[in-house]
Amino acid sequence: MTARSWHTPFYRQYLKSPEWKLFRTEAFRIRGRRCEACGTGWRKRGWFTRKRWLTVHHVNYERLGSELMCDVRVLCNRDHANAHQADQSGRFRDLEAATDHVIKRGRAGKGLGE
């Protein structure tokens, strides 16, 4: 599985597994229930706002099924899409570099706590 093969059938299947759901809950607990880029969080208005919700995003897929906390970032759906877009632009070394760029840009822009 390469770093860019997201949305493969296997990956989609995995996202429905109890193992992933468990890890996802753990990721929110440890990394925080808010977007690491823009700060959108669950606490404001429940689990998500009408247009934003939180996702646990992989910065690499090397350990799919036995991820470490450093393999994922908590992002809102907008910044999640931005991270994959940045990755696909080819301007970054890998998905992790693209993601960290989006997070840095998000933090520098609006700051946390939107």
Nearest CB to Zn ion, comparing residues 25 and 88? 88
Q: What's the closest the beta carbon of residue 50 comes to Zn ion, in angstroms?
A: 15
**Contact (CB, 8 A) for 74 and 56:** yes
| Among positions 37, 56, 59, 72, the unique one binding Zn ion when judged by CB under 5 A | 37
Site for Zn ion contains 38 (CB under 5 A) = yes
Backbone angles phi, psi at 45, to 5 degrees: -135, 60
Site for Zn ion contains 54 (CB under 5 A) = no
Site for Zn ion contains 57 (CB under 5 A) = yes
Q: What's the closest the beta carbon of residue 22 comes to Zn ion, in angstroms?
A: 18
**Contact (CB, 8 A) for 57 and 102:** no
Q: What's the closest the beta carbon of residue 78 comes to Zn ion, in angstroms?
A: 6
Which residues lie near Zn ion (CB under 5 A)? 35, 37-38, 40, 57, 76, 79
